[in-house]
């Protein structure tokens, strides 16, 4: 009876080891087929992101909160792009289409020539535009603040009340009525 239970334990250990090897193999295959490809995509995006960030800081002198709002918008664009290709990622045969899509996305980032173009193309969400307007007000760049707040007012009716509030604040600050 003692020998039988020892054999059962050995059989259970062997079964466990076999199951564990299968799981590790599945993880390795998933890493090699999916994760590595996703890492390659991210690395290509990240290089472009870093170049754009460097351009913002050095060439256009964008720093602090303004830079952070814009960088968050760029990250949001990346997240939206990932959502768009989500179904293609599940089908492992679409790698060329995914790479082409990434190339188009990266080209949009690389084609940005100046600060105004950057804001126009990449800061498109109303909440980010309002945050950007607040940054411009804080930095006493009232014309820029009015531009982005007016964009929210004209394009986003659900957020225009907040944009109107900050627009009024901007006008008061800009004219020295405070």
Q: For the chain, which ranges sit under pLDDT 70?
A: 1, 92-93, 178
Instruction: Supply the pLDDT for residue 178.
Output: 60
HEC profile of the chain? CHHHHHHHHHHHHHHHHHHHHHHHHHHHHHHHHHHHHHHHHHHHHHHHHHHHHHHHHHHCCCCHHHHHHHHHHHHHHHHHHHHHCHHHHHCHHHHHHHHHHHHHHHHHHHCCCCHHHHHHHHCCCHHHHHHHHHHHHHCCCHHHHHHHHHHHHHHCCCCHHHHHHHHHHHHHHHHCCC
Name the pTM for this structure. Answer: 0.81
Instruction: Supply the pLDDT for residue 157.
Output: 87
Q: What residue ranges do the domains of the chain occupy?
A: 2-124, 125-178
């Amino acid at each position: 009876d003692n020998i039988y239970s020892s054999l059962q334990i050995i059989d259970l250990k062997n079964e466990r080891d076999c199951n564990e090897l299968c799981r590790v193999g599945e993880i390795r295959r998933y890493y090699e087929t999916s994760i590595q490809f996703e890492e390659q995509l991210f690395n290509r995006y990240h290089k472009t992101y870093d170049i754009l960030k460097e351009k913002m800081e050095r060439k256009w002198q964008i720093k602090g909160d303004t830079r952070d709002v814009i960088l968050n918008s760029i990250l949001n664009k990346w997240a939206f792009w990932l959502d768009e290709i989500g179904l293609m990622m599940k089908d492992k045969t679409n790698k060329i289409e995914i790479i082409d899509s990434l190339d188009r996305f990266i080209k949009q980032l690389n084609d940005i020539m100046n600060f105004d173009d950057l804001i126009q193309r990449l800061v498109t969400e109303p909440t980010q535009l309002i945050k950007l307007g607040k940054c411009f007000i804080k930095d006493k760049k009232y014309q820029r603040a009015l531009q982005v707040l007016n964009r929210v007012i004209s394009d986003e009716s659900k957020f225009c009340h907040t944009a109107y509030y900050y627009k009024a604040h901007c006008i008061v600050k800009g004219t020295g009525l405070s």
